[in-house]
Structure formats: C-alpha cells, structure tokens
Amino acid sequence: MSKGTERMTMGELAASGGLANLRSSATGTPLRAIAEAAIAAQEKAQGEAKPADAAPTKGEDSQKAPKRKSEAIKTPTEYEEQVDLFAWADRMVFELPELDLLFATINGAKMPYGKNKNGQRFSKEAVRQKKAGLKNGIPDLILLVARRDYHGLLIELKRAKKSLSVVSDEQKQWIEKLTARGYLAVICYGAEEAKKVILNYLGAE
C-alpha cells in the first residue's frame, strides 16, 4: 500500500476510486492489475496440468454413463440344437406318434480324456465304448420308421452356421453306406432344418 493511502478511511478509499487507485509500494503498479494477472497465471497453470484429452479421474469417470456393449448373437452348439429338436419331438408326438421311435446315438457325447506318454489325447472311456460297439461317424439321430422306399431316416445334426460345422470323413462314409442300403441318411444344419426333413419324411409337410 502506498504511503498516500496508508491512513485513508474506507469512505475516503471509496471516494477516490477504491481498489483501482491502490498501487504497489515497490513498483507503483495498481494492485488490481497485479491480482488479475495472478488469477490469469493460475488458470493457465491448471489448464496445462490437465490437457483436454487427459484420462478422467475416478470421480469424473463414475459420473459418465456406462457404454452399452452390443451383444453378439450366439450360434447354438450341436448339443443345444439336439436338445431343441427333441423338445419339439416330445411336443409333436401326440400328432405324429412315429416320433416316439426317434432317438440319439452316443456319438455326440464328450468322452473324458487324458494324454498318453507321447502327449497325445487318449480316452479310456472311448476305448471301452468302442469295444462295446461304438463306431466313429454314425449319424446322431435315428428314426426307425419306414417310409416310401426307405427303411428309416438317419440325421447327422450340425450347428446351423455351416462355417462352424465340420463333417468328418467317417461321417461322410456312413452317409454313403446307409444311402446305398436303402436308408435316407442326410446332414442337417440346425434343429429347424432337421424338423423340416423329419416332417417331410413322415409326409406331414
């Protein structure tokens, strides 16, 4: 505060223009200008310390609405397709009693396995089942109903999305052998396709 203003009363200070007239005793610069410069410098420093693209703090981040993740449509597994098919067959059996003769083979079951001395996958249960008659490639579903010139219907059921399904050489060979011996043996992609094949085979569609 300058010597000329050290003993001014509040009334005199107001009458003389207030803070606008107060000056630094060291430089003679108005105190108001010094205060405004200090505030501007502080704001600039805060802006440089936190750039616009800086990661939000924990408090700021919690205030933002969470992003909605689009749920990808999951393609059912072969097991899920087969469960769907037999649930349908159970409902339809009152209209089509022949569906009572539709059953599944054990080929779709997952056998527990370990690894042999060479590090290769090995299933004792699979060996046990093969001794009892299990054969690779047998179609998953069998309908023991003769229709037209066929002795029965056999279906190898795959996932609805063909790119996710693999038909093994053994499965192709069984399809060919069964067809040659008077059975209708087909590959169906998904439960819906299998339902249509069954209905058509039974003459219900």
- Between CA 205 and CA 193 the distance in angstroms is 13
Query: What separation, in Å, do the N-terminal and C-terminal C-alpha atoms of the chain show?
Result: 103
Phi first, then psi, for residue 30 (nearest 5°) are -55, 135
Best CA proximity match to 205, nearest among 95, 64, 91: 95
Residue with the two structure tokens 């219900």:
204
Residue 184: CB atoms within 10 A of its CB come to 19
Mark whether 112 and 17 lie in a shared domain.
no
Q: What is the pLDDT of residues 127-163, one digit of tens each?
A: 888 888 888 899 999 999 999 999 999 999 999 999 9
Q: Is residue 3 part of a domain?
A: no
Identify whether residues 92 and 187 lie together within a single domain. Answer: yes
Q: pLDDT tens digit string along 38-95?
A: 667 666 666 655 554 555 555 544 555 555 544 457 889 999 999 999 999 999 999 9
Q: Do residue 14 and residue 83 come from a single domain? A: no
DSSP single-letter state for residue 147: B
| pLDDT for residue 93 | 97
Number of domains in the chain: 2
DSSP code, position 132: T
Q: What is the CATH number of the domain that holds 180?
A: 3.40.1350.10
Claim to verify: residue 172 and residue 92 sit in the same structural domain = yes
Query: Do 45 and 105 reside in the same domain of the chain?
Result: no
Average pLDDT score over residue span 2-13? 47
Query: Could you tell me if 87 and 188 lie in one domain?
Result: yes
How do residues 87-121 score in pLDDT, each as one tens digit?
A: 999 999 999 999 999 999 987 677 667 777 777 77
- pLDDT of 9 over the 70 cut: no
Tens of pLDDT, residue by residue over 171-183, are 999 999 999 999 9
Rounded to whole angstroms, the Cα distance separating 124 from 47 reads 69
85/47 same-domain check: no
Residues 6+ apart with CB under 8 A from 151: 181, 182, 183
Alpha-carbon gap, residue 96 to 94, rounded angstroms: 6
25 with 115, same domain: the answer is no
Are residues 93 and 166 both part of a single domain? yes
Tokens matching residue 181: 């011996």
- As a whole number of angstroms, the distance between CA 205 and CA 201 comes to 8
Question: Is 89 within 8 Å of 201 (Cβ atoms)?
Answer: no
Domain boundaries, position 25? 10-51
Do 153 and 99 fall into the same domain?
A: yes
Alpha helices in 71-138 (DSSP H): 78-92, 124-131
* Residue 90 and residue 191 share a domain: yes
The dihedrals phi and psi of 141, each to the nearest 5 degrees, come to -120, 140
Domain assignment of residue 113, yes or no: yes
Whether the CA torsion 86, 90, 91, 94 is positive or negative: it is positive
